[in-house]
Structure 1
Amino acid sequence: MLNLAGGNTTHLRDSIYYIEDGTVVILVESTLFKVHQSMLIKDRSTFQSMFSLDEHSVPKQDEAASTVGPTTREGTDDSNPIVLQGDSADEFRALLWSLYSLPSDILLAMTAEASDLKFIHLAQISHKYQFRSIEAWALQVLTSYYALGSVTPHIETLVQLTELAVLCDSSDLLNAAILKWKRMVGEGKALSTIIIVAERLNLRGVLGLAYHSMMLKGRSEWDADPLLSRSQRIRLLSGHYTLSQICSELPSTPPRLKHANSCLHRSQCKIGWAELWKTIHTTKEGGISSQIMKLQSADLLGRMMLAESIIKAFGEGIPTEGLLDDIHEKCFKAALKTTQEKVKEIQENLVDWFSDVM
């Protein structure tokens, strides 16, 4: 991580963080920074041990006298800087900004819409060099910013944000990013890109929804998309076949009914629930479930969500034409809850039906 720069004169001094009275020169990419060593060892960062090791590596005065040539310690000037490998100048600049800025400057950046990339850079580099308090602060700022429903990041920024959440093991930030991904899927945007990113980062919930949404676009859409791989197209075909089979059996497979303790006619109640479920999924044109009949044959999620809405509407008092007569009132409420749980389960596990094995 600490290497000689070799005196390359093509390196440029940073316009902000090349501080004349700084004590250490650092090269990041092609940019030279001159800062105070005392700033970099804050928060018990990795720099503290790096500088300590560097000091121990310099020969003592009597030892230096017996060596041939100079023994200049790295970081002393532009021709012999400390070189940080694997970092970007923007990341290191963000770290220095957090260390040197006035409180008013930081507050201003926190309210600016363009501050998200700076805080992503800050969280990345503070995580790498173990500035724990700065990392926690940067993650909290990003989480608060992206938790706002009105914030719609570019997909490249959202990828960076999700990678950061995974890197730093930040569940709050990851959940905020996942909500943005799901909204994007719901809008049908960049589905193939979302599939690729979700597979790479193992975002199961997002991946299942993206596959489901892409599946509903039809095979002509998959084949025309240059980003989808052969195995991904196989998963789409597999998912379409499997979900079509499940949907065809849906009218005869209602969610399991949990009877209330006060239900005295459980057998009759169970039959009534099964008949209601079947009616919702098989009513003829113009009936209570005419909207379900318009959905695609493989749209399991859409059918279940619409069934949930119909059952909820029954519970709120729309005419039921006697469909609830045989169902105990408390059992019906339990049936609604069970249906809602089933919808959530399907959303979370959709990806399992998109297998690359036909």
Structure 2
Amino acid sequence: MTHLPSEAYLTTTFMHPSSSGPSSPKLQLQLSIPIPTRDPVYYISDGNTVLLVETTLFKVHRSTLTKDKSTFDSMFSLDSDLRSSSGQSSSSSVTAGAEGESDDNPIRLQGDTADEFRALLWALYALPHELTVALTPKANHLQLFNLSRITHKYQFRSIEAWALTALTNYYTRPSHSPSLDTSDEPSLVQLTELASLCEQRDLLEAATVRWKRQLACGKDVGLAIGVAERLNLRGLLGLAYHAMLLQGREHWDADPLLTRSQRVRLLSGHYALGRLWERLPNEPPTLAHSPRCTGGAQVRCNQAWAALWRSTLDMGKQVLPLQYADILGKIMLAESVVKALVEREIPTQGMLDAMPWCKDNALAATAGKVKEIQDTLADYFTDVL
């Protein structure tokens, strides 16, 4: 096959069936079919296997594709067994050639992009110094993203692990701040999907941190709800619903990404979180007492802690009035107040006098309550009003 320019197309013109005769209207339908072209780097002259990905032809060494006990190893072994059993004796088989032996009969890979397959070949053929760059700030993160996807699909286990580590290193650098929609890097949605697909916890955490930043700014909240529901990311889902809740009913109704069921869950969450806030002042978190706090001292300590808890929640309402259903904001504010009291950044007014050995435990109990609410936030947004 002649190596055609990358933009070459085969154009076929069809005459409309109703058009016949010299006086018939010339209604035509044109169909442009892209002609496969050879990859400029990975169409290797001494390669022995031709593959077609999208409209790009790759010619590589079969032994290279079978590294790491990948799916290609099993695929080629099966193909070899089938050829041995059939004998490849017919003249038509000899004329056409086996699949993968020529540009005219390549192995066709479905569901992959040329960029993904190119990233795989880069990893398989790269020199050591080229691979080392991937672990530095100069890494090509889009290449690593494509590599992670395709190695997961074809079970290049060790290469997948390496690529995910390199990608995680890139996205967890303090200076990095990916946006949701750019042309030169995977979107935050794609990054989250990849981390979930590959069960890469550190990468998923890095993506979640960036979702939280978006939610804190009130951006892409409906998108975050959809992603979190689809991938069953409970922590992110609760935060996303809570962020949408605070934007108000008018905003929910106007957001085109929200479904009717999601709006019902928002109403349910508003009611449930309001009820929770009403109960909280009378339900102080369990306090773990110091070994020195025993007997009657422990009773007095529990009473003081209950009073401190109620006062802290009331103090929070007075310092910074928050929305009725902003349970997360209120409980985090309460944590800040307890911390300021324990560390004597604000006057204690005698509230800590009855719990001299358990003050730090009070702060730990409050922090535990904050985490509990954060972890279970999604449970308040149900389909039942």
TM-score by length of 2: 0.84
* 1:181-218 per-position Cα deviation (integer Å, ceiling 9, x unaligned): 22322232210000000000011000101111110111
Question: Is the 1:143–1:172 contact (alpha carbons within 8 Å) kept by the matching residues of 2?
Answer: yes
Deviates more, 1:216-225 or 1:257-266: 257-266
Partner of 2:163: 138
- Give, in angstroms, the shift of residue 68 of structure 1: 4.6
Distance 1:9 1:320 in 2: 76
Comparing both chains, which one has the higher relative contact order based on Cα–Cα distances under 8 Å and sequence gaps of 6 or more? 1
Cα gap change, 1:255/1:60 in structure 2, threshold over 3 Å: closer, same or farther?
A: closer
Cα gap change, 1:311/1:48 in structure 2, threshold over 3 Å: closer, same or farther?
A: same
Partner of 1:173: 203
1:329 aligns with 2:379: no
* 1:225-253 per-position Cα deviation (integer Å, ceiling 9, x unaligned): 11111111111111111111111232222
Query: Which secondary structure state, in structure 2, belongs to the residue aligned with residue 302 of structure 1?
Result: helix
Query: Which secondary structure state, in structure 1, belongs to the residue aligned with residue 357 of structure 2?
Result: helix
Which of 240, 243, 259 is the equivalent residue of 1:229? 259
Deviates more, 1:28-37 or 1:254-263: 254-263
Distance 1:130 1:258 in 2: 48
Partner of 1:301: 328
Where in structure 2 are the equivalents of 1:1-358 lying within 5 Å? 10-58=35-83, 63-65=87-89, 67-71=90-94, 72-111=97-136, 115-155=140-180, 157-263=187-293, 264-283=296-315, 290-292=318-320, 294-318=321-345, 319-326=347-354, 328-358=355-385
Query: Which secondary structure state, in structure 1, belongs to the residue aligned with residue 167 of structure 2?
Result: helix
- Give, in angstroms, the shift of residue 173 of structure 1: 2.0
Percent identity for Structure 1 against Structure 2: 53
- Give, in angstroms, the shift of residue 109 of structure 1: 4.5
Distance 1:73 1:323 in 2: 85
Distance 1:120 1:271 in 2: 55
Question: Is the 2:317–2:330 contact (alpha carbons within 8 Å) kept by the matching residues of 1?
Answer: no
Cα gap change, 1:313/1:120 in structure 2, threshold over 3 Å: closer, same or farther?
A: same
Cα gap change, 1:345/1:17 in structure 2, threshold over 3 Å: closer, same or farther?
A: same
| RMSD of aligned residue pairs (Cα, Å) | 2.1
- Give, in angstroms, the shift of residue 155 of structure 1: 2.5
- Give, in angstroms, the shift of residue 153 of structure 1: 1.9
Distance 2:374 2:72 in 1: 45
Amino acid at match of 1:297: Y
Distance 1:191 1:230 in 2: 16
Distance 1:64 1:107 in 2: 44
Alignment: residue pair count:
343
Deviates more, 1:245-254 or 1:194-203: 245-254
- Give, in angstroms, the shift of residue 301 of structure 1: 0.9
Question: Is the 2:117–2:150 contact (alpha carbons within 8 Å) kept by the matching residues of 1?
Answer: yes
The structure with the greater share of residues assigned to helix is: 1
TM-score by length of 1: 0.90
Distance 1:230 1:114 in 2: 43
Distance 2:205 2:224 in 1: 16
* 1:55-83 per-position Cα deviation (integer Å, ceiling 9, x unaligned): 2322589x545x35233211111001111
Distance 2:34 2:369 in 1: 65
Cα gap change, 1:56/1:310 in structure 2, threshold over 3 Å: closer, same or farther?
A: same
